[in-house]
Chains A and B, each alone.
Chain A
Amino acid sequence: MKKLNAFSKNKYSQWATAYLFLLPAFVLWLIWFCMPVLQSFGLSFFKYNYVMSNDNHFVGFENYVNIFKDKEFLNAFVHSITIVVFAVPIQTFLSLMMALLINMKFRGRGVFRTIFYSPYVISPIAVATVFMYLFTEDQPIVKFFTLFGLENTSWAVSVRYALPLVIMMYIWQQCGFYMIMFLSGLQTISPEIMEAAEIDGANKIQTFWHVTFPVLRPTTFLVITYGVITSFQVFDQISAIAGQGILGAPGNALSTLVTYFYLNAFKYGEIGYGSAAAVILFILIFLATLLQKKFLDKDV
């Protein structure tokens, strides 16, 4: 039964108000989101060049066929997957650890929380620039890594080390954000449950596994989903490392699905072809999200 309240006195005036409140968002969404989305799908079936527009015509699935024939696309695909596969588990693990540490009641925890979060608010361009200088030949950090058998070289210009450098700076920047998400998840655990577990003689690891972790499941799902979606989209750092060179430099070591799309659409002007690449990126993100929903989110 519906409760009578201030909002059910007059049905039609309520409808009108609701639509009025939604109108600004709806208009903006329609013009700057919905129509572009449809256009992107549509353009992917055309040969479309914005500058030389006399040769624009429908080509069906030709763009998609050509993309899958392109070795550069495969290369970009592998790099994108590499970033996701390394960045997401590492940042999820680190941010969970940071959240668990901060969640312990000690003086000054607020300071640590602020320190851990602050990289997230800084521009990726700034972060990439600093990391490039830090990982230059003969710098202390590079020398430190030579202890583990790595070369003493400038990472950003090395075909072998550029991708690990991007993954590292990306994780460094993102951890704090996911830590906050885990922290707010941890705050939903009532102290009574923890006490009860302690009285029952559970040790720290058992408590974590049987009490903390189940409560954090929805948060973990969100952290991983969001992590996959965003790490597929890394762009600024790669653009910073390329500098004035071609996006994806050094020597295509950093080409990803996003740079592949960007180069084709904006540098070579092949908007139709680029849109097809963007559609593939979208489908991948969509599939990844569905997969996670199936495996991680069974009972939510």
Chain B
Amino acid sequence: MRTFGKIIVGIVLVIFAVAFLFPLFYTVYNSLLPDQYVGSLVSPKYFTLDNFETIFLNYPVGQWFLNTIIVTVCCVVGNVVVNCMAGYALSRFEFPGRNGIFLVVLGSMMIPFQFILTPVYIRLADLKWNDHLIALIVPFLFSCLYIFMARQFFISIPKDLDEAARVDGLGYAGIFFRIILPNAGPLLTSIAILCFTGNWNSYLAPSTFMVTRENFTLAVGVKTVRDLMYVRMNLILCGVVILSVPILIVFLLLQKHFVEGVAASGIKG
């Protein structure tokens, strides 16, 4: 009976795994096929990188890549610093309005981004910022979700650490940047991964704010190419690979910390 149960569990796991892996394999496989073999099963000796060459030569993919990296890196760094500082203040200091601010943080988490899209767009247009990368950075440098995560995490770090640093003569800023942040690994990695994937994959804002082809991010660019060339499946799936593989690599490198981070930082509530 026990082995029977184990076999069932094994089968279910494998079915799930196939359901999750098949689309990924299908994408990579087809992106490597020359036109005449698309949709058929052929041996790997026919694989070619021609599609990647075509897509890089015909579209400013390199520029899109660069744009996406600039936006993502700026947002990750900004979000880590800004939100951790706020979360730290809410977790450690006693000051008038603390509970009120915390309630505002919680309330803001419930408002969907679409709700503020139009006013943000209008403000960016007034500032003449639309169609510039800055439009994808400045409005996205903070997040109430990450402030909440940071607060929950810092509450779990004992205050003794701060006090020891205080005795050693460090000021508040010194304690935060030299003692607290270096000890907040799981928090920093979870904010970094969430923020990295969020910005890398973001589509609604960049597709709304960006007009010129050269200013697109990778997600918007790939979508545009796809709309134009939908029948060239191998070429389009190539674009999908270019869009997905970097983020998968980042995730695979950091995933161990990330799962710990989810557990440690209280996304679980």
A residues whose Cβ falls under 8 Å from a Cβ of B: 5-8, 11, 14-15, 17-19, 21-22, 24-26, 28-29, 31-33, 35-37, 39-40, 43, 50, 97-98, 101, 104, 112-127, 129-131, 133-134, 172, 176, 180-181, 183-185, 187, 218-219, 221-222, 229, 232-233, 235-236, 239-240, 243-244, 258, 261-262, 265-266, 271, 274-275, 278-279, 281-282, 285-286, 289
Q: Mark B133-161, 1 if CB is under 8 A from A, else 0.
A: 00000111110100100000000000100
Q: Are the C-beta atoms of A28 and B141 separated by less than 8 Å?
A: yes
A232 to B111 CA separation, bound complex (whole angstroms): 12
B4 interface residue per 8 A CB criterion: no
Q: Out of A43, A120, A236, A285, which one reaches B118, CB within 8 Å?
A: A43
**In chain B between 86 and 133, which residues have their CB closer than 8 angstroms to a CB of chain A?**
86, 88-90, 92-96, 98, 101, 108, 110-123, 125
Q: Are the C-beta atoms of B268 and A219 separated by less than 8 Å?
A: yes
Interface size on B, residues (CB 8 A): 93
A7-B93, A262-B114 known; A43 vs B16 contact (CB < 8 Å): no
B226 interface residue per 8 A CB criterion: yes
A17-B172, A101-B13 known; A43 vs B119 contact (CB < 8 Å): yes
B252 interface residue per 8 A CB criterion: yes
User: What is the distance, in angstroms, from B106's C-beta to the closest C-beta of chain A?
Assistant: 11
Q: Are the C-beta atoms of B118 and A121 separated by less than 8 Å?
A: no
A122-B247, A286-B110 known; A7 vs B119 contact (CB < 8 Å): no
Q: Are the C-beta atoms of A7 and B248 separated by less than 8 Å?
A: no
Q: Are the C-beta atoms of A278 and B114 separated by less than 8 Å?
A: yes
Q: Mark B226-242, 1 if CB is under 8 A from A, else 0.
A: 11101001001101100
B residues whose Cβ falls under 8 Å from a Cβ of A: 9, 12-13, 16-17, 19-21, 23-24, 26-27, 30, 81-83, 85-86, 88-90, 92-96, 98, 101, 108, 110-123, 125, 138-142, 144, 147, 159, 162-163, 166-167, 172-173, 176, 193, 197, 200-201, 203-204, 207-208, 219, 222-223, 226-228, 230, 233, 236-237, 239-240, 243-244, 247-248, 250-252, 255, 259, 262-263, 267-269
A-B contacts besides A118-B248, A126-B244, A243-B230, 5 pairs, CB < 8 Å: A7-B159, A25-B82, A121-B250, A184-B262, A261-B114
Residue in B96, B115, B121 whose Cβ sees the most chain A Cβ within 10 Å: B115
By a CB distance below 8 angstroms, the chain B residues around A278 are 114-115, 117-118
Residue of A nearest to B121 (CB): A266
Q: Are the C-beta atoms of B9 and A25 separated by less than 8 Å?
A: no
A32 to B134 CA separation, bound complex (whole angstroms): 13
Residue of A nearest to B218 (CB): A123
Q: Are the C-beta atoms of A118 and B251 separated by less than 8 Å?
A: yes
A18-B93, A50-B125, A125-B223 known; A239 vs B21 contact (CB < 8 Å): no
By a CB distance below 8 angstroms, the chain B residues around A286 are 110
Counting from the closest, the 3 A-B pairs by CB-CB distance are A36-B119, A18-B93, A36-B116
By a CB distance below 8 angstroms, the chain B residues around A8 are 94
A29 to B86 CA separation, bound complex (whole angstroms): 11
Residue of A nearest to B233 (CB): A133
Q: Are the C-beta atoms of A243 and B227 separated by less than 8 Å?
A: yes
Q: Are the C-beta atoms of A122 and B248 separated by less than 8 Å?
A: yes
Q: Are the C-beta atoms of B247 and A239 separated by less than 8 Å?
A: no
By a CB distance below 8 angstroms, the chain A residues around B144 are 29, 33
By a CB distance below 8 angstroms, the chain B residues around A219 are 268-269
Q: Are the C-beta atoms of A115 and B21 separated by less than 8 Å?
A: yes
A117-B255, A185-B268 known; A32 vs B120 contact (CB < 8 Å): yes
Q: Are the C-beta atoms of B259 and A180 separated by less than 8 Å?
A: yes
A5-B163, A181-B268 known; A289 vs B23 contact (CB < 8 Å): no
